[in-house]
């Protein structure tokens, strides 16, 4: 059942977002509600189960007694609704109608209205004619509709998994809110964006690799949002490794989060088109940097760094790219860094119209395109993320499987936490051994499969596994890095 939860949370988010931006009959709202109901019935199956419970415990989604990391990352709107309704989650009945869900969106969109308690919220829903959604008491209260939850079941690889999920949710929320406000013609709240990044920069003691582990969960529908968060994290990670100050990191992180803000002005049918864009659509889509620059120029407290990145992240170093700028106009280092991270993220992500490429294939393409990128920034990204970026799932030639914890001294030899033995036995979280491939020869063990999002697996070629990067003619020895901590 838990695999059905993420798409449901995602559809809830999409429906809520569009019903608050537009109106209840907007096609995207109706589409999301219809699909939610269809998937709900599919998840409930034919075995007599009448209701699906989506609970919230300490800001995380729980289902079947499990806390689910992936759905929690995209669940901020659902969590907000549950908190607004003073409950611990909702039970969705198989007879639920799309119109009832849309009514629920309307009730929850008004987050400023005071809901006294759960009973009041239930009456509110009844009054709206919502009969197939029930509210559960909170976790720990009598009548909680879920199973017991083991909250400490996932000791973190990070400072604290719960904190990391909260950080991720706030980054995601910042991008969502900014795009929504820009779409409505309202001012982007620059200070909120900066505060979120600032609290992350000052709170995270180790590095952003921890957040990258989370950011690799599949994106479902919101690929502008997840993309912006990842671009921001990549840029901060590179910035941190090249020794930038916390203040500079905050500016870079904020610029990364808002670099595609201009997409808020692009018509939805182009933005969410699942096929490749035709010439005319591409023309419209390519206006987004211009719109982005304009939006941030008009925003109070925005910085030249963010304005520059929103306007210039599709400019190339050789003067090509878009929008057109005079030859003498310089491109800032931050914009160049965001551009590199933007292209790398796009190449390595799955989109409805394209599969993902491995990092090695992506670096190969980027390095061959000699006029496009600032070489220092590109090489810094390669050094920091390596061939197997932190958070990637890998299968080894020994048959074991694991998660990359950090890039090794050599790009092709990461530090891996083994999660599953070569006989397919999963290790308990506390018993997962660390294997530093830097201490093994490629003949002994190398990576054979890579998954960047935990779902789509890619076979790693033998040349790639040995660091040859598919003929990219990159001298790996020149890219070897020293420990940066
Ligand atoms: Fe863009
Ligand atoms: Fe982008």
According to DSSP, the residues that pair with 351 across neighbouring strands are: 354
CA distance 479 to 37: 51
Instruction: State the pLDDT at residue 148.
Output: 79
- Ligand 2 centroid–CA 271 distance in Å is 12
- Ligand 2 centroid–CA 304 distance in Å is 18
Cβ within 8 Å of residue 433, ≥6 positions away: 417, 418, 427
To the nearest 10°, report the CA torsion of 272, 276, 280, 285. Answer: 50
Task: Give me the chain's average pLDDT, please.
Answer: 84
- Ligand 2 centroid–CA 450 distance in Å is 23
**Count of other CB atoms within 10 angstroms of residue 436:** 14
Instruction: State the pLDDT at residue 23.
Output: 79
- Ligand 1 centroid–CA 217 distance in Å is 21
Per-residue pLDDT band at 257 (split at 50, 70, 90): very high
CA distance 31 to 268: 13
Which pair of structure tokens corresponds to residue 369?
């395109």
More confident residue, 294 or 162: 294
CA distance 216 to 390: 9
Query: pLDDT per residue over 82-138, tens digit each?
Result: 999 999 999 999 999 999 999 999 888 876 677 889 999 999 899 989 999 999 999
Average pLDDT, stretch 6-35?
Answer: 86
Per-residue pLDDT band at 217 (split at 50, 70, 90): low
Measured from the alpha carbon of residue 338, the closest ligand is 2
Query: pLDDT per residue over 187-196, tens digit each?
Result: 898 999 999 9
More confident residue, 379 or 3: 379
Is a pLDDT exceeding 60 seen at residue 12? yes
- Ligand 2 centroid–CA 344 distance in Å is 10
CA distance 343 to 321: 13
Burial of 427 (0-12, 13-18, 19+ CB in 10 A): middle
Is a pLDDT exceeding 90 seen at residue 258? yes
Measured from the alpha carbon of residue 285, the closest ligand is 1
Average pLDDT, stretch 220-235?
Answer: 82
CA distance 437 to 53: 43
- Ligand 1 centroid–CA 313 distance in Å is 6
Q: What's the pTM value of the predicted model, to 2 decimals?
A: 0.79
Average pLDDT, stretch 156-162?
Answer: 57
Query: pLDDT per residue over 409-432, tens digit each?
Result: 788 899 898 989 999 888 877 788
CA distance 397 to 479: 24
More confident residue, 70 or 44: 44
| Length of the chain counted residue by residue | 485
Measured from the alpha carbon of residue 291, the closest ligand is 1
Instruction: State the pLDDT at residue 453.
Output: 72
- Ligand 1 centroid–CA 143 distance in Å is 48
Measured from the alpha carbon of residue 342, the closest ligand is 2
Measured from the alpha carbon of residue 345, the closest ligand is 2
Cα-based distances in Å from 125 to 4, 40, 101, 455, 481: 25, 19, 10, 37, 58
Is a pLDDT exceeding 70 seen at residue 219? no
Is a pLDDT exceeding 90 seen at residue 379? yes
Query: pLDDT per residue over 365-374, tens digit each?
Result: 999 998 999 9
Average pLDDT, stretch 342-348?
Answer: 93
Q: What are phi and psi of 122, to 5 degrees?
A: -65, -40
Is a pLDDT exceeding 60 seen at residue 152? no
Max CA-CA distance within the chain? 70
Least trusted range by pLDDT, from 153-162, 212-221, 435-444: 153-162
Is a pLDDT exceeding 50 seen at residue 467? no
Evaluate whether 287 touches 271 at the Cβ level (below 8 Å). Answer: no
Is a pLDDT exceeding 70 seen at residue 477? no
- Ligand 2 centroid–CA 306 distance in Å is 13
Instruction: State the pLDDT at residue 479.
Output: 36
Is a pLDDT exceeding 60 seen at residue 33? yes
Instruction: State the pLDDT at residue 410.
Output: 85
Instruction: State the pLDDT at residue 151.
Output: 64
Burial of 164 (0-12, 13-18, 19+ CB in 10 A): buried
- Ligand 2 centroid–CA 348 distance in Å is 13
Cα-based distances in Å from 439 to 189, 301, 396, 420: 48, 49, 15, 20
- Ligand 1 centroid–CA 289 distance in Å is 6
- Ligand 1 centroid–CA 153 distance in Å is 39
- Ligand 2 centroid–CA 62 distance in Å is 32
Instruction: State the pLDDT at residue 154.
Output: 47
């Amino acid at each position: 059942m838990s695999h059905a939860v993420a798409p449901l949370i995602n559809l809830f988010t999409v429906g809520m977002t569009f019903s608050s931006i537009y109106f209840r009959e907007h096609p995207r709202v109706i589409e999301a509600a219809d699909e939610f109901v269809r998937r709900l019935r599919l998840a409930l199956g034919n075995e007599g189960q009448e209701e699906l419970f989506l609970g919230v415990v300490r800001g995380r989604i729980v289902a079947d007694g499990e806390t689910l990391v992936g759905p929690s990352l995209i669940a901020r709107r659902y969590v907000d609704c549950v908190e607004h309704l003073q409950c611990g989650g909702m039970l969705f009945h198989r007879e639920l109608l799309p119109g009832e869900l849309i009514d629920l969106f309307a009730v929850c969109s008004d987050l400023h209205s005071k809901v006294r308690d759960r009973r009041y919220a239930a009456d509110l829903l009844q009054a709206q004619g919502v009969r197939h959604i029930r509210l559960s008491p909170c976790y720990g209260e009598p009548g909680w509709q879920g199973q017991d939850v083991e909250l400490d079941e996932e000791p973190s690889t990070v400072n604290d998994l719960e904190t990391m999920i909260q950080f991720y949710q706030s980054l995601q929320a910042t991008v969502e809110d900014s795009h929504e406000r820009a779409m409505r013609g309202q001012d982007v709240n620059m200070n909120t964006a900066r505060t979120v990044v600032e609290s992350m920069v000052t709170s995270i003691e180790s590095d952003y690799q921890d957040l990258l582990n989370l950011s690799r969960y599949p994106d479902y529908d919101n690929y502008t949002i997840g993309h912006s968060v990842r671009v921001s994290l990549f840029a901060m990670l590179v910035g941190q490794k090249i020794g930038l100050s916390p203040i500079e990191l905050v500016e870079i992180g904020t610029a990364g989060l808002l670099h595609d803000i201009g997409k808020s002005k692009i018509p939805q049918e182009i933005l969410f088109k699942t096929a490749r864009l035709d010439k005319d659509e591409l023309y419209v889509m390519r206006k987004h940097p211009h719109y982005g620059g304009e939006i941030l120029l008009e925003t109070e407290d925005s910085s030249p760094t963010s304005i520059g990145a929103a306007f210039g992240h599709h400019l190339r170093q050789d003067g090509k790219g878009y929008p057109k700028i005079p030859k003498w106009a310089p491109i800032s280092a931050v914009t160049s860094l965001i551009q590199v991270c933007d292209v790398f993220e796009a190449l390595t992500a799955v989109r409805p119209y394209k599969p993902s490429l491995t990092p090695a294939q992506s670096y190969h393409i980027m390095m061959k395109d000699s006029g496009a990128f600032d070489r220092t920034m590109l090489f810094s990204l390669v050094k920091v993320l390596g061939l197997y970026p932190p958070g990637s799932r890998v299968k080894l030639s020994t048959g074991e499987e694991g998660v990359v914890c950090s890039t090794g001294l050599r790009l092709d030899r990461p530090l891996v936490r083994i999660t599953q033995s070569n006989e397919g036995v999963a290790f308990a979280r506390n018993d997962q051994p660390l294997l530093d491939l830097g201490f093994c020869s490629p003949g002994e063990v190398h990576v054979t499969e890579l998954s960047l999002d935990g779902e789509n697996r890619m076979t790693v070629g033998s040349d790639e596994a040995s660091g040859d990067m598919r003929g990219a003619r990159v001298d790996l020895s020149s890219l070897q890095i020293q420990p940066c901590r």
